[in-house]
Amino acid sequence: MTADAEQAGAPEAISKRGAARVLRPALGLLLPVALALFWEIAVRMGLSNGRLVPPPSVIWNTFTDLAATGELARHALATLWRVAWGFAFGVMAGTIFGAITGYSALTHRVVDPTLQALRSIPSIAWVPLFILWFGIFEASKIILIAVGVFFPVYLGVMGAVMSVDRKIVEVGRVFRLSGPAMVRRILLPAVMPSYVIALRAGLGLGWMFVVAAEFLGASTGLGFLLIDGQQLGKPAQIVAAIVAFAILGKTTDWLIVLIASPFLRWEDRFARH
Amino acid sequence: MLVLDRVGKTYPNGVRALDGISLAVAPGEILVVIGGSGCGKSTMLRTISGLDPPTQGRVVLDGTVITAPREEIGIVFQEPRLLPWLRVADNVGFGLAEYPKAERRTRVAGALDRVGLTEKARVWPRELSGGQAQRVAIARALVPRPQVLLLDEPFSALDAFTRADLQDHLLDLWADLKPTLVMVTHDVDEAIVLADRIMVMRAQPGRVYEEIPCELPRPRDRQSAAFDFVKRRVLAALDRSLDRAVAMAEEVEPRAAAGGGLWW
């Protein structure tokens, strides 16, 4: 009997596991979908007019309308372009400064206090100055984003380089690695996991700062859509722009994880997700 | 021939870790260094490796003064210290970056075969047991074919069975390749199983206290009377070396106490 039960049970167990693989990520969708459905039904039943908080169907229509006219793509691309440049500059500067201050105690003592002091300034406070210095067009926006990206990357890289295990570095010394070889074969791989986290934190701040930058006089960009929606009383457009931000933010973050994952397969991690 | 010529090590804070260590280790000899904690045995090993050159005297290998790590001198630490981002085979071949790829591959395969881990070549270090990881570390140190292999309490973190297993393994490797072995341990049995000669060190500052030849035929039987005889000799020497240290500490203390007494 047991043999029969096992034979019958095996394919069932496999399909159950397959179903679990599909269903488990879907669990995360449960709450937002339920909330959206609830609001849609509430507005349809006339419990609310939905004017200030548009129901999902209206947001969807606005979103598709914006997409159909090409407006959405135009604004999204403008924003993406700014974030890309700001992120690139911020990451470059953060990596170089972080690596040097992490590696050299003297540079750390000279440079780090100043950078930490600058970090404590709310970055939006720079905006008026940046506009005076770099004008109201792209340069000041990109620089603001770069400043936002710089600090988490700087801190992450510096901390990672400083905490590389001395014992592992000693292995490099035993095998007589030269300076560049030590960096390439020991330090770089050792800081990789923290570096990816720093990049993700930096990218998150980049998306935050692009909104701030676009609030301050832009004629394109998702941030402009937000302001435009507020001034013309179009809440659905605001929510549609917010959704676009969410999609772009999540996608770019996922891209970093995807690109980094082949370099991090060695990690001995607690979580496997 | 590995020669230490009045080697001393004083740290920048004034602590003297080693004082006037002179010794010669013949090619292919197994020297085991034993002593209480803090007697400078690890420090001595690090001066030989070139990682921490001595502040007095010199370490000479076949006429060359050692001031920095060299290919002829391999070292295995207490921890395996494998690079977690490299698979086992790449860890073993880590010191062969300058060799042609084919040469590297055959040497790595040979070393993995020697330590019995051929089937683990493509595995990440995190997937190894403690004993396996230490075997990989030994393979990594042996792959550049060093004349001298230094071992700094390499088996102290392992359980008794694995330790005995790796001691046998190490002897097999030594029988094949005949490198000079200098091993630091605090395990008397381990010292007697492996050594041609046992050097007992004394602390504060680290000095050679006594050298005990250990010429039992291999493989050595831990239960034999001869083994026991050597063991008693080593234990007695260790005891005396520790007593001396205690006596010296007591000799210093009354003076310190008298000095401290002024405060009261």
Q: For chain B, positions 116-145, list CB contacts with chain A under 8 A.
A: 124-126
Gap from A204 CA to chain B (nearest CA, Å): 27
Answer for the pair B181, B70: CB distance below 8 angstroms, yes or no: no
* CA dist B69 → A90, A149, A178 (Å): 39, 41, 12
The token pair that represents A155 in the structure block: 């801190």
Tell if the CB–CB gap between A173 and B84 is shorter than 8 Å. Answer: no
pLDDT for residue A9: 47
- Positions of chain B with pLDDT under 50: 252-264
- Pairing relation of β-strands B207-213 and B197-202? antiparallel
Answer for the pair B137, B82: CB distance below 8 angstroms, yes or no: yes
pLDDT for residue A175: 93
Gap from A91 CA to chain B (nearest CA, Å): 23
Tell if the CB–CB gap between A174 and B124 is shorter than 8 Å. Answer: no
* Domain ranges for chain A: 1-48, 56-263
Which residues in A lie closer than 8 A to residue B68 (C-beta atoms)?
A: 176
Gap from B169 CA to chain A (nearest CA, Å): 23
pLDDT for residue A178: 87
State the amino acid at position A182 in one-letter form: M
Which residues in A lie closer than 8 A to residue B74 (C-beta atoms)?
A: 174
Tell if the CB–CB gap between A167 and B51 is shorter than 8 Å. Answer: no
Would you say residue B7 lies in a domain?
yes
Q: What is the CATH number of the domain that holds B218?
A: 3.40.50.300
How many separate domains does chain B show? 1
Gap from B174 CA to chain A (nearest CA, Å): 21
Nearest to A168 among B49, B81, B97 (CB): B81
Would you say residue B107 lies in a domain?
yes
Which residues in B lie closer than 8 A to residue A260 (C-beta atoms)?
A: none
pLDDT for residue A79: 93
Gap from A187 CA to chain B (nearest CA, Å): 11
Gap from B69 CA to chain A (nearest CA, Å): 5
Nearest to A268 among B86, B87, B126 (CB): B126
pLDDT for residue B190: 92
Closest CA to B137 of B180, B184, B86, B100: B86
Residue B174 is part of which domain span? 2-241
Q: Which residue of B has its CA nearest to A164?
A: B83
Answer for the pair A223, A207: CB distance below 8 angstroms, yes or no: no
Would you say residue B249 lies in a domain?
no
Count of residues in chain B: 264
pLDDT for residue A15: 66
Q: Is B69 on the interface with A (CB under 8 A)?
A: yes
Interface confidence, given as ipTM, is 0.83
Would you say residue B24 lies in a domain?
yes
Would you say residue B246 lies in a domain?
no
pLDDT tens for each residue of chain A, 273 residues long = 444 444 444 555 556 667 777 777 788 888 988 998 998 999 888 888 878 888 888 889 888 988 888 888 899 999 999 999 999 999 999 999 999 999 888 999 999 999 999 999 887 888 888 889 988 888 989 999 999 999 999 999 999 999 999 999 999 999 999 888 998 899 989 999 999 999 999 999 999 999 988 887 788 889 998 998 889 888 888 988 998 899 899 999 999 999 988 888 888 666 654
Tell if the CB–CB gap between A266 and B86 is shorter than 8 Å. Answer: yes
**Which residues 6+ apart lie within 8 Å of B216 measured at CB?**
B192, B224, B226, B227, B230
Q: Which of A166, A168, A171 to mutate to test the interface with B (most CBs of B within 10 A)?
A: A171
Q: Which residue of B has its CA nearest to A268?
A: B126
Tell if the CB–CB gap between A167 and B81 is shorter than 8 Å. Answer: yes
Q: For chain A, positions 110-169, list CB contacts with chain B under 8 A.
A: 167-168
Q: Is A170 on the interface with B (CB under 8 A)?
A: yes
Would you say residue B167 lies in a domain?
yes
pLDDT for residue A216: 78
Q: What's domain A56-263's superfamily in CATH? A: MetI-like (1.10.3720.10)
pLDDT for residue A20: 73
